[in-house]
């Protein structure tokens, strides 16, 4: 690529040495990768009769991550988990990864290697292979973009559309933890405050919530299970927050939903955090993004099969609502039995 403006790479980072080191460390020996890192483009052998699923995410320092509260490895891990989660929500299996990186002048190659360690810690359990990327200097902060390629059988792919009236709404794991973890990271340190606010929360709960924010688990096994067994009628991953992501299912499936707020799966740590900070944990669960759990719908006919199979496999699922006609809108049922229209608040850029 012709460069009209090229800020100098950080004095300690040599682009070609770095790529060479990445190539050495992450060299791929698998028959489907014809060319990995090192040529002008990667070449992979596609499988007949399969759909290719592609997803990409861009993370910007100061917008998506803060180097004061996350390590380079955490940033890499979280970026990979976000992409893996998108693949999981399609019911697909992740296979190949491309990483593009802009390195500020303050960046050193050890930072890059730490970042890749985090990326690979999230990807390796799923046998995802690094097949290429791009590297540039940045005149601002760090930029990290991941592109993940997966595969799914045409009969099994899951979409946001597909929810039907009478379906049940489910979610994996627990929600609200990531937002609680993020807020904990951004709180002033206990010593800095006169009345130690953080003392009310146990170290274990604190570490759990911060871990859920910095090292989220993409629900790959759950997504593949839902798709392979035709259990879900629609699915999405929770990246923007339950109320916002639920709206996507409703709009794309042209349905309404009744959300049972009393049923939302809240972790003990999230409840403890909310109690300590005098917050409503349900509000954290509704608006908190980046939990990377799967939100999906299941027909009434499949429901008992789903529940039984989930128990057998040790998957944690919670039924949190039912699908209604579109005109019903999004309504939340409180534990007290009162009903209200759901505000669609979630994290949005540019607002
Ligand atoms: P080009 O000039 O054609 O873009 P590069 O020198 O940027 O070539 O890249 C050479 C090889 O190294 C390519 O296979 C590319 O995919 C890979 N690569 C470059 N940067 C990265 C990176 N940050 N992570 C992984 N692979 C990379
Ligand atoms: Mg390049």
Ligand 1 within 6 A of CB of 242:
no
Ligand 1 within 6 A of CB of 135:
yes
Separation CA 215–CA 127 (nearest Å): 18
What number does the ligand 1 atom closest to the CA of 98 have?
A: 25
Q: What is the pLDDT along the chain (351 residues), one digit of tens a residue?
A: 545 555 557 767 888 899 999 999 988 888 999 999 999 999 999 989 999 999 999 999 999 999 999 999 999 999 999 999 999 999 999 999 999 999 999 999 999 999 999 999 999 999 999 999 999 999 999 999 999 999 999 999 999 999 999 999 999 999 999 999 999 999 987 655 555 555 589 999 999 999 999 999 999 999 999 999 999 999 999 999 999 999 999 999 999 999 999 999 999 999 999 999 999 999 999 999 899 999 999 999 999 999 999 999 999 999 999 999 999 999 999 989 999 998 655 555 444
Q: Going by C-beta distance under 8 Å and a sequence separation of 6 or more, which residues neighbour residue 19?
A: 37, 135
> How many CA atoms lie within 13 Å of 195's alpha carbon, on the beta-carbon side?
4
DSSP code at position 127: T
Ligand 1 within 6 A of CB of 120:
no
Show the tokens assigned to 15: 């682009």
| Candidate from 13, 109, 133 with most ligand 1 atoms within 8 A of CB, to mutate | 133
Ligand 1 within 6 A of CB of 256:
no
Residue nearest to atom 19 of ligand 1 (CA): 134
Compute, in angstroms, the gap from residue 179 CA to the centroid of ligand 1.
Answer: 35
DSSP β-ladder status, 255-260 and 330-333: parallel
Which residue's structure tokens are 């303050």? Answer: 106
Closest alpha carbon to 291 in 251, 326, 314, 264: 264
Separation CA 160–CA 148 (nearest Å): 19
What number does the ligand 1 atom closest to the CA of 38 have?
A: 14
Residue nearest to atom 5 of ligand 1 (CA): 134
Ligand 1 within 6 A of CB of 128:
no
The 3-state DSSP class for residue 322 equals strand
Start-to-end Cα distance in the chain: 34
Q: What is the pLDDT of residue 112?
A: 96
Q: What is the pLDDT of residue 26?
A: 87
The 3-state DSSP class for residue 276 equals helix
Ligand 1 within 6 A of CB of 20:
no
Rounded to two decimals, the pTM is 0.92
Compute, in angstroms, the gap from residue 19 CA to the centroid of ligand 1.
Answer: 7
Closest alpha carbon to 86 in 281, 226, 220: 220
What ligand has the least distance to the C-alpha of 41? 1
What one-character-per-residue DSSP string does 30-95 give?
A: -TTEEE-BTBSS-EEPPPTT-EEEEEEEEEEBTTTB-TTTS-HHHHHHHHHHHHHHHHHHTT-EEE
What ligand has the least distance to the C-alpha of 18? 1
Ligand 1 within 6 A of CB of 133:
yes
Helix (H) or strand (E) holding 310: helix 303-313
Dihedral through CA 20, CA 26, CA 27, CA 33, nearest 10? -120
Ligand 1 within 6 A of CB of 288:
no
The 3-state DSSP class for residue 145 equals strand
DSSP β-ladder status, 294-298 and 234-237: antiparallel
Q: What is the pLDDT of residue 28?
A: 80
Q: Going by C-beta distance under 8 Å and a sequence separation of 6 or more, which residues neighbour residue 349?
A: 63
């Amino acid at each position: 690529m012709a460069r009209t403006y090229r800020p100098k790479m950080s004095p300690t980072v040599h682009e070609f040495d770095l790529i060479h080191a990445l190539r050495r460390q992450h060299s791929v020996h698998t028959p489907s990768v014809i060319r990995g890192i090192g040529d002008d483009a990667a070449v992979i052998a596609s499988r007949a009769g399969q759909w290719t699923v592609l997803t990409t995410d861009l993370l910007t320092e100061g917008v998506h991550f803060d180097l004061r509260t996350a390590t380079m490895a955490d940033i890499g891990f979280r970026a990979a988990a976000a992409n893996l989660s998108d693949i999981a929500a399609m019911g697909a299996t992740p296979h190949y990864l491309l990483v593009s990186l802009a390195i500020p002048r303050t960046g050193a190659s050890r930072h890059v290697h730490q970042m890749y360690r985090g990326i690979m810690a999230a990807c390796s359990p799923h046998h995802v292979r690094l097949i290429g990327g791009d590297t540039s200097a940045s005149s601002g902060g760090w930029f990290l973009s991941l592109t993940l390629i997966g595969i799914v059988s045409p009969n099994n792919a899951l979409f946001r559309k597909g929810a039907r009236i009478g379906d049940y709404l489910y979610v994996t794991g627990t929600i609200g933890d990531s937002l609680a973890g993020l807020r904990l990271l951004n709180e002033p340190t206990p010593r800095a405050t006169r009345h130690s606010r953080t003392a009310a929360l146990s170290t274990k709960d604190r570490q759990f919530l911060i871990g859920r924010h910095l090292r989220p688990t993409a629900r790959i096994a759950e997504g593949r299970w839902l798709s392979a067994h035709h259990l879900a009628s629609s699915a999405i991953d929770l990246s923007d927050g339950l109320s916002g992501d639920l709206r996507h299912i409703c709009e794309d499936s042209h349905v309404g939903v009744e959300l049972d707020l009393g049923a939302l799966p809240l972790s003990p740590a999230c409840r403890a955090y909310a109690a300590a900070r005098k917050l409503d944990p349900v509000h954290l669960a509704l608006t908190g993004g980046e939990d990377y759990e799967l939100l999906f719908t299941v027909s009434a006919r499949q429901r008992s099969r789903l529940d039984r199979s989930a128990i057998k496999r040790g998957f944690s699922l919670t039924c949190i609502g039912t699908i209604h006609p579109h005109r019903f809108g999004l309504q939340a049922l409180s534990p007290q039995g009162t009903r209200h229209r759901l505000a669609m608040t979630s994290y949005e850029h540019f607002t």
